[in-house]
């Protein structure tokens, strides 16, 4: 098919001096800059572009915009291959590769086309009905088979090589759609000085003005578009965003939009592929235009059958018509005047016209062509493309007309989707036969132009101006009214015709292969709600979301129920308006940068010293430090744990939350936060504290140090640091605003290193500046502010998680790395050893200290054996609730467990049962919280909660893990595997 | 004076620095931060004459600057060590005022433009969901930046500072560089 001649003014829309080569299904073709893939395929006479979803019927291009149900192609190849791309939205670029989808073998000889013969078995709801028996076959046989046969394109399964960005805009006015109404709205607001964002999904702004042949102010409409865009582009308060789809309306006037930054290029180069914009607009104008609907008739899905307005757009904007052979004439089928406009446009471009089939009796030609008034189309012929159309004329006689293209005009549906995103219900206009945006749409969103039924050029221009003035008035701005360009009258009379009744299949939803028969069947099967009909038939689903089928389907359903369209109503529209890639929703952060990572001050030191890291919340913590010759992590961990018990170890514990609490009421405040009493803590002392949830369960534990009068440092667990701080701030601001206390998170400010082991004091003595570390002066649970390494301010806490003599030394974070190096250097002769979180866990399990696994939100202070820490002398968050029935009488207690056979491994998470008891929920007596290999005990050990565990020491119980078939005998022992008297840590 | 050598938040002894088009990113390792809080209901102190501003604002004084962080709470910035000491003393002597040293709690990246405000504005548009008013010169706001809690300070038309928790310095640096580098092709296109 060769190009049509276009008037000079329209030549700008495609650049005939810039030919572009591309391939479709491996065959080379040529198009022009300005073409879409769809228009370029048409220019090359390609009609068959894919196979349908269910029946694998040949399909062609059906529309000229984002509503396209048929022409879904896979664009590009390799990692950039993108399935389900609408050929109508793809801008042609040099070297573009596209391939058709959903066929086995070539698209012309699809082996799966056999499905069409099985159509009687594939009707509405077939998968609910056909594949019920035998049950087991669903997962293994039916579902995989259906998935292979149906579906659209395939993913490449390779990582996306492109980058994506996100951005935020805050205009006064967002104008969605740059057609007649949108341009006029933007112009009105821009001249009034408002900050305006004008977004359009098309690469070229102008909307239907680019597709119509009419004049504005006596000149081609494209001239007016160019003038307005030039003026807008020159204004500093306007941002033009072509290739940008506003896909959703969210709360508080936030609009989601995707800008296709480099989709129109072969590769993005230095640019991002797409940008996700969050546009917070004071007001928005929905000038999203309208989508034409078709009229279902028998075999209306053949390539060559397309929307009449799209046919007109292809002729006027791109200079193409979709015949396979240039000489094949075009036929129009319409129920309204708009079909005749297409006939006029085609005649003006010199296209051979076979006439107009107009369902309205008394319809007349608007030009030099034949009109079959009162006639309807009743069938089509042509294997891979349209060859003949059958019509039934007003007198009831049938005849066949030879043609290569059939344009179908069933009226226009306003694109109301965005106005319905907050569950706004469209309202039926019986006169215009359209749904209009309802009054209950999103606040601040003002529909304009064809999107609210003002579809003629004159009406759209005026309505765009009206909408902008409304928005500006609401924003307390005054706007002068720019003069409207003179436009021609456009006839728009319509008489309802929703489908042509017949025995054969007439497609309503081309993308999902849903026919009028399917809707009837769904009605017969009692799917009376429109929502049920949608699910039963799958109408309106998938990538096009029923843009060309929804209203027609409702009308067919309304006819069946006799309820009328208004009462039948619509299904709910939800974002996104058109498909959005997950990559752009992710905003571009992938891999290591998927989320923020927090590194400890000694991270780089640990990296250089062979550490393996583990994620703890957002933190990366050293898990163990492998030494040369160690081939298994257990070797490293055992060595590190032994070194702490025998000499001295170093562990970065910066990740523990540190909250600076200051003020005269700090003690009172902490008494209410902690279950135990803190206010009695003297300066220079540390106390272990428990926090409860409001419901009385354990929340968090840690130490609280008193640095001076009214000055405390609260330590939290790593994972809860943020939550505890948030909770304390809530209590300070909302529960007890009368208390004079200040909270500051200082977690990041201090590098804190645990120095643990019998030689820890000897090591620290080598770095402190003349500070007396003797047991008398600085005993267990003491703390001090001091200086180290020649004047560096530091904090020292004598606390122990390992059960050995131990300290935690904190210095300003920038010195953490150097301090670690210094301690390693000074402690070399003492056997100093860095240890990671695994050894830390081994040491604390050996000592019976609780951690996250024991404080899992289902445990109480009493279960830990710390019930008396919940002070009865004062109130604290959760204290009263901890005494409630059901919680206070929980008699499970923390115990130690050792396998009877020392070679056996105790699995964490195993449930505990009495020896010989049935292993069921009713006989469950607790569970293992933590387990590890203890190099000290030389066997696996575990901590767990056991029913009346404190009274069952010495008893042998069963540890069962039915998921993996484990059932191990273990002896109940005290939870302290080392130094049960606690003498060591006080040495 | 300690002989331990401090390390920048990005793991290098010298401040990290990078340029992308008109934008230059520099880690500000000299910055000292002192948070100040007052007893509820008491007027804002004026340590050494420094004005402590209202919500969303940043103010610059002699040798120091301050921004609002919460009701009755501010962060004071200075890069003059002696001045920091004098400020601490002044705060301690103000009735009901309390201070917490936060110098090591945050990483600060200064972003400057040698082509006026436009590159800074373009960068901000990609970084934070804040209106131009909220990031106008003299404003400081706590906000989210790629899931990272940050403080964004507009020190001048052509100068922005971003503070993030020190431990997340690598993530902050990555996202700032990535975002700044993306402005380059757009500006030259």
DSSP per-residue codes, A58-94: EE----SSTT-SS-EEEES-GGG-EEEEETTTPBP-T
Sheet holding A376-381, edge to edge: A376-381, A388-392, A398-402
Question: Is the CB of residue A165 less than 8 Å from the CB of residue A276?
Answer: yes
Burial class (CB within 10 angstroms; exposed 0-12, middle 13-18, buried 19+) of B119: buried
Q: What is the mean pLDDT of chain B?
A: 93
Torsion of CA A393, A398, A401, A406, to 10 degrees: 60
The b/e string for A169-206 (b: 16+ C-beta within 10 A; e otherwise) is: bbbbbbbbbbbbbbbbbbbbbbbbebbbbbbbbbebbb
Burial class (CB within 10 angstroms; exposed 0-12, middle 13-18, buried 19+) of A885: exposed
Residue A622: helix, strand or coil by DSSP?
strand
Interface residue of B21, B72, B98 to substitute, partner A, most A CBs within 10 Å: B98
pLDDT digits (tens, 9 = 90+) for B25-79: 999 999 999 999 998 788 889 999 999 999 999 999 999 999 999 999 999 999 9
Token pair in block for residue A883: 């005494």
Distance from CA of A961 to the nearest CA of B (A): 39
The b/e string for A734-765 (b: 16+ C-beta within 10 A; e otherwise) is: eeeeebbbbbbbbbbbbbbbbbbbbbbbbbbe
Contact of B19 with chain A, judged by CB distance below 8 Å, is answered with no
Residue A213: helix, strand or coil by DSSP?
coil
pTM of the model: 0.92
Torsion of CA A754, A758, A760, A765, to 10 degrees: 160
Token pair in block for residue A289: 């235009």
CATH of domain A602-654+749-835: 3.30.1360.120
Contact of B32 with chain A, judged by CB distance below 8 Å, is answered with no
Give the pLDDT score at A917. Answer: 94
User: Smallest Cα–Cα separation from A604: which of A741, A803, A447, A751?
Assistant: A751
User: Is the confidence at residue B187, as pLDDT, over 60?
Assistant: no
Give the pLDDT score at A11. Answer: 64
Q: For residue B186, what is the nearest residue in chain A, using CA coordinates?
A: A271
Strands A611-616 and A792-797: unpaired
Work out the pLDDT band at B189, boundaries 50, 70, 90. Answer: very low
CB within 8 Å: B11 and A814: no
User: Is the confidence at residue A135, as pLDDT, over 80?
Assistant: no
Q: For residue B135, what is the nearest residue in chain A, using CA coordinates?
A: A170
Chain A contacts in chain B segment 39-78 (CB below 8 A): 39-40, 73
Q: What is the mean pLDDT of chain A?
A: 94
Give the pLDDT score at B188. Answer: 47
CA dist B25 → B156, B162, B172, B184 (Å): 15, 10, 11, 14
**Average confidence (pLDDT) over B144-162:** 96
Q: For residue A733, what is the nearest residue in chain B, using CA coordinates?
A: B71
* Rounded distance between C-alpha atoms, residue A960 and residue A916, angstroms: 12
CATH of domain A879-986: 2.40.30.110
Omega of the bond prior to A576 within 30 degrees of 0, cis?
Answer: yes
User: Is the confidence at residue B184, as pLDDT, over 80?
Assistant: no
Q: Where are the domains of chain A?
A: 164-290+414-474, 502-568, 602-654+749-835, 657-745, 879-986
* Rounded distance between C-alpha atoms, residue A586 and residue A416, angstroms: 27
pLDDT digits (tens, 9 = 90+) for A223-261: 999 999 999 999 999 999 999 999 999 999 999 999 999
pLDDT digits (tens, 9 = 90+) for A841-861: 999 999 999 999 999 999 999
Distance from CA of B132 to the nearest CA of A (A): 8
A812 CB-side CA count, 13 A:
23
**What is the share, in percent, of chain A residues with pLDDT greater than 70?**
99
Ramachandran area for residue A238 (φ above 0: left; ψ -120 to 50: alpha; else beta): beta
pLDDT digits (tens, 9 = 90+) for B74-114: 999 999 999 999 999 999 998 889 999 999 999 999 999 99
pLDDT digits (tens, 9 = 90+) for A507-544: 999 999 999 999 999 999 999 899 999 999 999 998 89
| Total number of residues shown for chain B | 189
What is the complex's ipTM, to 2 decimals? Answer: 0.97
Residue B172: helix, strand or coil by DSSP?
helix
CATH of domain A502-568: 1.10.10.1100
Burial class (CB within 10 angstroms; exposed 0-12, middle 13-18, buried 19+) of A646: middle
CB within 8 Å: A817 and B129: no
CB within 8 Å: A654 and B167: yes
Give the pLDDT score at A126. Answer: 76
**Average confidence (pLDDT) over A131-139:** 73
Q: For residue A729, what is the nearest residue in chain B, using CA coordinates?
A: B70
| List of chain B residues whose C-beta atoms are within 8 Å of the C-beta of residue A173 | none
* Rounded distance between C-alpha atoms, residue A705 and residue A475, angstroms: 55
The DSSP line for A534-597 is HHHHTTT-TTTTTTTTHHHHHHHHHHHHTS-HHHH--PPP-S-SS---HHHHTTT--GGGSS--
Question: Which among A167, A600, A789 has CB closest to B167?
Answer: A600
**Phi, psi dihedrals of residue B91, rounded to the nearest 5°:** -70, -45
The DSSP line for A711-765 is EEEEEE-TTTHHHHHHHHHHIIIII-TTS--EEEE-TTTEEEEEEESTTHHHHHH
The set of residues, in sequence order, having a beta carbon less than 8 Å from that of A754 and lying 6+ positions away, is: A649, A650, A651, A652, A653, A801, A802, A806, A807, A808, A840
**Average confidence (pLDDT) over A439-451:** 96
Give the pLDDT score at A495. Answer: 96
Contact of B98 with chain A, judged by CB distance below 8 Å, is answered with yes
Question: Is the CB of residue A377 less than 8 Å from the CB of residue A333?
Answer: yes
Question: Which among B3, B104, B132 has CB closest to A814?
Answer: B104
Task: State the count of interchain CB pairs (< 8 A) between A and B.
Answer: 144
Contact of B26 with chain A, judged by CB distance below 8 Å, is answered with no
Give the pLDDT score at A137. Answer: 77
CB within 8 Å: B3 and A790: yes
Give the pLDDT score at A125. Answer: 79
Omega of the bond prior to A951 within 30 degrees of 0, cis?
Answer: no
Q: What is the largest CA-CA distance in chain B?
A: 57
Contact of A747 with chain B, judged by CB distance below 8 Å, is answered with yes
* Rounded distance between C-alpha atoms, residue A221 and residue A461, angstroms: 12
Chain A contacts in chain B segment 160-189 (CB below 8 A): 165-172, 174-175, 178-179, 182, 184-186, 189
The superfamily CATH assigns to domain B17-30+104-188 is Probable tRNA modification gtpase trme; domain 1 (3.30.1360.120)
The set of residues, in sequence order, having a beta carbon less than 8 Å from that of A625 and lying 6+ positions away, is: A606, A609, A610, A611, A612, A636, A640, A834, A835, A836
User: Smallest Cα–Cα separation from A618: which of A643, A600, A645, A642?
Assistant: A600
Domain B32-101, CATH number (from 3.40.50.300, 1.20.120.450, 3.30.70.1520, 3.30.450.40): 3.30.70.1520
The DSSP line for A843-886 is HHHHHT---TTT-SSS--TTTTT-GGGS-SSS--TTHHHHTSTT
Give the pLDDT score at A348. Answer: 92
Rg for chain B (alpha carbons), in Å?
Answer: 17
Q: For residue B148, what is the nearest residue in chain A, using CA coordinates?
A: A596
Question: Which among B98, B106, B171 has CB closest to A593?
Answer: B171
CB within 8 Å: A817 and B7: yes
Token pair in block for residue A857: 């939100």
Q: For residue B168, what is the nearest residue in chain A, using CA coordinates?
A: A598
Token pair in block for residue A398: 């049938």
User: Is the confidence at residue A413, as pLDDT, over 70?
Assistant: yes
Question: Which among B165, B174, B175 has CB closest to A748?
Answer: B165
Residue with tokens 């933190």: A619
Token pair in block for residue A194: 């408002």
Strands A283-286 and A173-176: parallel
Give the pLDDT score at B185. Answer: 63
pLDDT digits (tens, 9 = 90+) for A113-130: 888 887 877 778 777 776
**Average confidence (pLDDT) over A592-600:** 92
Burial class (CB within 10 angstroms; exposed 0-12, middle 13-18, buried 19+) of A432: middle
Q: Where are the domains of chain B?
A: 17-30+104-188, 32-101
* Rounded distance between C-alpha atoms, residue B28 and residue A978, angstroms: 48
User: Is the confidence at residue A42, as pLDDT, over 50?
Assistant: yes
| List of chain B residues whose C-beta atoms are within 8 Å of the C-beta of residue A163 | 182
The set of residues, in sequence order, having a beta carbon less than 8 Å from that of A158 and lying 6+ positions away, is: A78, A79
Domain A657-745, CATH number (from 3.40.50.880, 3.30.565.10, 3.30.70.1400, 3.40.50.720): 3.30.70.1400
Instruction: Considering only residues A595 and B188, tell me which one the structure prediction assigns the higher pLDDT.
Output: A595
Listed range (A74-83, A103-112, A163-172, A624-633) with the worst mean pLDDT = A103-112
Helix segments in B5-160, DSSP class H:
81-93, 117-127
User: Smallest Cα–Cα separation from B80: which of B106, B107, B48?
Assistant: B48
| List of chain A residues whose C-beta atoms are within 8 Å of the C-beta of residue B73 | 742
**Average confidence (pLDDT) over B131-146:** 95
CA dist A208 → A15, A288, A575, B121 (Å): 19, 11, 24, 34
Token pair in block for residue A725: 């701080």
**Average confidence (pLDDT) over B125-134:** 95
* Rounded distance between C-alpha atoms, residue A404 and residue A322, angstroms: 8
CB within 8 Å: B104 and A595: no
* Rounded distance between C-alpha atoms, residue A302 and residue A765, angstroms: 89
Sheet holding A330-334, edge to edge: A305-307, A405-409, A330-334, A353-358, A371-373
Contact of B29 with chain A, judged by CB distance below 8 Å, is answered with yes
Segment A948-954 long-range contacts (CB within 8 Å, at least 24 positions apart): A948/A891, A948/A892, A948/A893, A949/A892, A949/A893, A949/A894, A949/A895, A950/A865, A950/A893, A950/A895, A952/A895, A953/A895
Residue A221 is inside which H or E element, if any?
Answer: helix A221-234
**Average confidence (pLDDT) over A450-473:** 97
| List of chain A residues whose C-beta atoms are within 8 Å of the C-beta of residue B169 | 599
Question: Is the CB of residue A221 less than 8 Å from the CB of residue A198?
Answer: no
Residue B177: helix, strand or coil by DSSP?
helix
**Average confidence (pLDDT) over B117-138:** 96
**Average confidence (pLDDT) over A341-369:** 95
Residue with tokens 């969303």: B56
Fold of A164-290+414-474: FAD/NAD(P)-binding domain (3.50.50)
């Amino acid at each position: 098919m060769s190009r049509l001649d276009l008037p000079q003014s329209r030549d700008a829309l495609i650049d005939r001096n810039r030919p572009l080569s591309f391939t479709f299904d491996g065959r080379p073709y040529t198009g022009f800059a300005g073409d879409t893939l769809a228009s370029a395929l048409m220019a090359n006479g390609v009609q068959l572009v894919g196979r349908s979803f269910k029946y694998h019927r040949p399909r062609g291009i059906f529309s000229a915009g984002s509503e396209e149900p048929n022409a879904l192609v896979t664009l590009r190849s390799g990692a950039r291959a993108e399935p389900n791309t609408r050929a109508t939205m793809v801008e042609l670029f040099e070297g573009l590769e596209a391939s058709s989808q959903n066929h086995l073998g070539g698209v012309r000889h699809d082996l799966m086309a056999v499905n069409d013969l099985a159509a009687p078995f594939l009707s509405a709801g077939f998968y609910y009905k056909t594949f019920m028996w035998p049950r087991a076959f669903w997962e293994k046989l039916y579902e995989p088979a259906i998935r292979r046969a149906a579906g659209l394109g395939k993913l490449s399964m390779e990582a996306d090589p492109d980058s994506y960005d996100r951005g935020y805009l805050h205009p006064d006015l967002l104008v969605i759609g740059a057609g007649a109404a949108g341009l006029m709205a933007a112009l009105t607001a821009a001249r009034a000085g408002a900050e305006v964002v004008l977004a359009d999904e098309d690469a070229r702004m102008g909307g239907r003005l680019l597709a119509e042949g009419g004049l504005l102010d006596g000149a081609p409409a494209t001239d007016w578009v160019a003038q307005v865009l030039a003026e807008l582009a020159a204004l500093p308060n306007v941002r033009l965003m072509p290739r940008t789809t506003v896909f959703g309306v969210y709360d508080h006037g936030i609009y989601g939009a995707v800008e296709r930054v480099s989709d129109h290029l072969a590769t993005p180069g230095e640019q991002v592929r797409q940008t996700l914009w969050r546009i917070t607009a004071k007001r928005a104008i929905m000038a999203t235009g309208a989508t034409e609907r078709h009229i279902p008739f028998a075999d209306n899905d053949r390539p060559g059958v397309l929307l009449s307005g799209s046919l007109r757009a292809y002729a006027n904007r791109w200079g193409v018509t979709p015949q396979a052979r240039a000489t094949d004439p075009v036929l129009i089928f319409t129920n309204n005047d708009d079909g005749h406009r297409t006939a006029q446009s085609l005649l003006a471009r010199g296209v051979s016209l076979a006439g107009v089939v107009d369902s309205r009796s008394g319809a007349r030609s608007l030009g030099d062509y034949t009109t079959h008034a009162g006639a309807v189309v009743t069938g089509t012929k042509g294997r891979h493309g349209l060859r003949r159309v059958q019509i039934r004329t007003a007198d009831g006689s049938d005849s066949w007309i030879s043609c290569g293209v059939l344009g179908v005009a069933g009226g226009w549906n306003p694109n109301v989707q965005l106005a319905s995103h907050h569950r706004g219900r469209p309202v039926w206009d019986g006169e215009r036969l359209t749904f209009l945006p309802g009054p209950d749409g999103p606040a601040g969103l003002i529909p304009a132009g064809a999107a609210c039924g003002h579809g003629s050029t004159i009406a759209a221009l005026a309505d765009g101006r009206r909408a902008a003035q409304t928005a500006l008035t609401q924003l307390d701005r005054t706007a002068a009214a720019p003069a409207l360009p003179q436009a021609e009258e456009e006839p728009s009379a319509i008489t309802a015709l929703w489908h042509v009744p017949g025995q054969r299949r007439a497609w309503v939803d081309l993308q999902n292969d849903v026919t009028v028969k399917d809707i009837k069947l769904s009605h017969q099967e009692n799917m009376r709600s429109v929502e049920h009909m949608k699910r039963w038939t799958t109408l309106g689903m998938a990538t096009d979301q029923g843009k060309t089928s929804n209203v027609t389907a409702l009308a067919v359903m309304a006819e069946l129920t006799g309820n009328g369209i208004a009462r039948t109503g619509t299904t709910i529209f939800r974002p996104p308006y058109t498909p959005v890639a997950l990559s752009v929703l992710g905003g571009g952060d992938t891999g290591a940068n998927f989320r923020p990572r927090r590194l400890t001050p000694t991270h780089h030191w640990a990296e250089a010293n062979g550490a393996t890291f583990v994620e703890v919340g957002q933190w990366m913590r050293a898990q163990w430090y492998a030494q040369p010759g160690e081939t298994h992590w257990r070797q490293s961990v055992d060595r590190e744990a032994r070194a702490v018990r025998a000499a001295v170890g170093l562990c970065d514990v910066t990740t523990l939350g540190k909250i600076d609490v200051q003020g005269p009421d700090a003690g009172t405040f902490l008494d209410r936060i902690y279950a135990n009493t803190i206010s009695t803590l003297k300066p220079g002392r540390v106390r272990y504290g428990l926090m409860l949830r409001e419901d009385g369960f354990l929340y968090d534990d840690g130490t609280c140090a008193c640095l001076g009068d009214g000055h405390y440092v609260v330590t939290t667990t790593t994972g809860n640091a943020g939550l505890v701080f948030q909770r304390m701030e809530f209590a300070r601001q909302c529960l007890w605003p009368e208390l004079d206390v200040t909270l500051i998170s200082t977690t990041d400010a201090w590098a804190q290193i645990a120095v643990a082991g019998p030689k820890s004091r000897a090591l620290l003595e080598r770095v402190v500046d003349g500070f007396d570390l003797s047991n008398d002066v600085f005993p267990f649970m003491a703390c001090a502010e001091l200086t180290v390494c020649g004047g560096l301010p530091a904090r020292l806490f004598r606390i122990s998680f390992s059960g050995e003599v131990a300290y935690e030394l904190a210095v300003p974070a920038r010195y953490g790395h150097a301090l670690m190096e210094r301690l390693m250097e000074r402690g070399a002769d003492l056997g100093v050893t860095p240890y990671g979180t695994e050894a830390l866990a081994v040491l604390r399990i050996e000592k019976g200290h609780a951690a996250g696994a024991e404080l899992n939100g289902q445990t109480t202070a009493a279960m830990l054996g710390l019930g008396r820490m919940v002070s009865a002398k004062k109130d604290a968050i959760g204290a009263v609730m901890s005494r409630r029935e059901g919680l206070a009488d929980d008699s499970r207690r923390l115990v130690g467990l050792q396998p009877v056979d020392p070679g056996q491994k105790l699995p964490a998470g195993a449930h505990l049962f009495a020896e010989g008891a049935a292993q069921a929920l009713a006989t469950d007596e607790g569970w293992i919280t933590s387990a590890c290999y203890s190099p000290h005990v030389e066997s696996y050990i575990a901590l767990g909660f056991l029913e009346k565990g404190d009274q069952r020491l010495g008893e042998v119980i069963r540890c069962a893990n039915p998921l993996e078939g484990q059932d191990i005998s273990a002896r109940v022992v005290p939870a302290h595997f080392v130094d049960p008297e606690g003498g060591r840590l006080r040495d | 004076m300690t002989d331990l050598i401090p390390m920048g938040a990005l793991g290098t002894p010298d401040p990290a620095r990078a340029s992308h088009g008109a934008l230059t990113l520099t880690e500000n390792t000299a910055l000292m931060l002192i948070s100040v809080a007052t007893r509820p209901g008491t007027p804002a102190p004026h340590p050494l004459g420094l004005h402590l501003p209202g919500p969303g604002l940043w103010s610059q004084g002699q040798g120091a600057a301050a921004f609002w962080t919460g009701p009755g709470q501010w962060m004071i910035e200075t890069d003059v060590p002696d001045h920091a000491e004098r400020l601490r003393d002044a705060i301690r002597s103000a009735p009901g005022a309390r201070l917490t040293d936060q110098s090591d709690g945050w990483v600060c990246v200064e972003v400057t433009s040698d082509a006026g405000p436009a590159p800074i504005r373009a960068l901000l548009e990609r970084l934070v969901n804040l209106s131009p008013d909220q990031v106008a010169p003299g404003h400081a706001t706590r906000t989210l930046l790629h899931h990272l809690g940050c403080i964004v300070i507009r020190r001048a038309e052509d100068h922005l500072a971003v503070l993030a928790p020190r431990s997340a310095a690598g993530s902050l640096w990555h996202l700032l560089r990535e975002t700044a580098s993306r402005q380059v092709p757009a500006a030259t296109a």
